[in-house]
Amino acid sequence: MEIQFFENDGDKSLVVKVSGDCDLYNAHHLFNDVTGKMDGGYAEVYVDFSGTPYLDSSGVGALIRILQYAKSKKIDLKFRGIGGTVRKVLRLSNILSIITEDRQ
């Protein structure tokens, strides 16, 4: 899994591009890297999963923890590019209904 960050100083937003599988072996990196960047004073954070073909329960857990962290910091967190298996896993785990999707 690769995580890239794209900052927009104009509107204090951050785009997080996740590529590759998000599973037991690397979900902790997703949580640590994203929440570490959230402390940069961003008003909005967009997590883009368009390059992520697979997500397991560890990835779902990381997303729940990221959602909780964003809420505690009053950061507007939105998700992009959720499709295929990732969408199915989030729907089956009832997470899809509690996230905000950005349809750019």
Domains of the chain with CATH codes: 2-98 (3.30.750.24)
Mean pLDDT over the full length of the chain: 94
Distances (CA, A) of 37 to 40, 90, 92: 6, 24, 29
pTM of the entire structure? 0.92
pLDDT band at 40 (very low <50, low <70, confident <90, very high): confident
Q: Please tell me the predicted confidence (pLDDT) of residue 42.
A: 92
In the predicted model, what is the mean pLDDT of residues 11-30? 95
- 41: nearest Cα among 6, 69, 9, 80: 9
